[in-house]
Amino acid sequence: MDAPNTLEIISLLLEVAHVSLIILVVSAVLGLLLGSLLTMINVKDIPVLKQFTVVISSFTRSVPIIIQLFLVYYALPPILANFGIDASNLSATVAAILALTLYHGGYLTEVLRAAYKAVDKGQHEAADSFGYTPTKKFFRIILPQVVPVALPGWGNALIHLIHDTSLVFALGVADIMGRAELIAAASFGMNQVTVFITVAIIYIIFTFLSDGMVRLFEKKTRKYKLDSGLNARGM
């Protein structure tokens, strides 16, 4: 393969962009679910499990994501083998999604917990005094107020996740970065800078789409943002 020109580089990279995008979207959705679950355990103060959530969130925030990726990839099959599950052919893509989900969930726990705590106590009391069931209270009163507070933090968490999906090629996933490495290695020191600047631009587009989406949600949920909790204390 001789050195491809800029247009060829762009098309070569876009060929595998869907791989990065799938990993990103699946991890973002699963991570949000995991983060919500961990937050629920945390605020409901379930013993033992709560300590577990604190450890997970501390681990995911203290250890470099690259180690988390490798740990899941190498440690999960032997752990599952103990339970009689054969995961010896765990694919790099699945391992990457699992690691990123755990990381994103652990990161989001902090964001969601702070947002939940920001809802004024009076809101809970008012809902209780109206005789709302706990489920109804959560979905009609609490959640709409948690969302606008949590959105900026969630936006930042998404940016981190987008950046960290660029590392899955270290496990051997054939994503944008994996393809970029191949092109850079095959073109004998030609146009490597072009290749990685193109990769940067693709990721910048991902980032701005994500930012735009979060801003749209912020606009839609602004009316639920009460001047209570944080704002009332003059923060």
Partner 1 sequence: MLNFEILVENFFGILNVVPQTVALAVTIFILSILVGTVMALIQEYNVPVIKQIVMLFKLFMRGTPLIVFIFIMYYSLPGIVSFFTNLLNLDYNPHNMSPVVILIVAVSLTVSSFQAETIRASFLSVSYGQIEAARSLGYTPFQAFLRIITPQALVEALPEFGNAFLVVMKAISLGFMITVVDIFAEARLIAASNSYYVEAFIVAALMYWGIAYIVVTLTNKYESSLARRT
Residue 54 binds to partner 1 (criterion: CB under 8 A): no
Judged by CB, which is closer to partner 1: 138, or 196? 196
Residue 136 binds to partner 1 (criterion: CB under 8 A): no
Q: Is residue 60 a contact partner of residue 107, using CB atoms and an 8 Å limit?
A: yes
Residue 33 binds to partner 1 (criterion: CB under 8 A): no
Residue 163 binds to partner 1 (criterion: CB under 8 A): yes
Q: Which two tokens stand for residue 77?
A: 């099959």
**Which range in 28-36, 42-50, 67-75, 135-143 contacts partner 1 by CB under 8 A?**
67-75
Q: Is residue 195 a contact partner of residue 183, using CB atoms and an 8 Å limit?
A: yes
Judged by CB, which is closer to partner 1: 40, or 76? 76
Q: Which two tokens stand for residue 14?
A: 């876009």
Applying CB under 8 A, among 111, 151, 158, 184 the residue interacting with partner 1 is 184
DSSP secondary structure, the chain, as one string: -PPP-HHHHHHHHHHTHHHHHHHHHHHHHHHHHHHHHHHHHHHTT-TTHHHHHHHHHHHHHHS-HHHHHHHHHHHHHHHHHHTT---TT--HHHHHHHHHHHHHHHHHHHHHHHHHHHS-HHHHHHHHHTT--HHHHIIIIIHHHHHHHHHHHHHHHHHHHHHHGGGGGGGT--SHHHHHHHHHHHTTTSSHHHHHHHHHHHHHHHHHHHHHHHHHHHHHHGGG--S-TTGGGT-
Residue 64 binds to partner 1 (criterion: CB under 8 A): yes
Residue 70 binds to partner 1 (criterion: CB under 8 A): yes
Residue 215 binds to partner 1 (criterion: CB under 8 A): no
CB of 129 to partner 1, least distance (A): 37
Residue 132 binds to partner 1 (criterion: CB under 8 A): no
Residue 187 binds to partner 1 (criterion: CB under 8 A): no
CA triple 112-65-87, angle to 5 deg = 100
Total residues contacting partner 1 by CB under 8 A comes to 39
Applying CB under 8 A, among 103, 107, 116, 206 the residue interacting with partner 1 is 206
Judged by CB, which is closer to partner 1: 34, or 65? 65
CB of 130 to partner 1, least distance (A): 40
CB of 59 to partner 1, least distance (A): 7
- Where does this chain bind partner 1 (CB under 8 A)? 58-59, 61-68, 70-71, 74-75, 78, 82, 159, 162-167, 170, 177, 180, 184, 192-193, 196-197, 199-200, 203-208
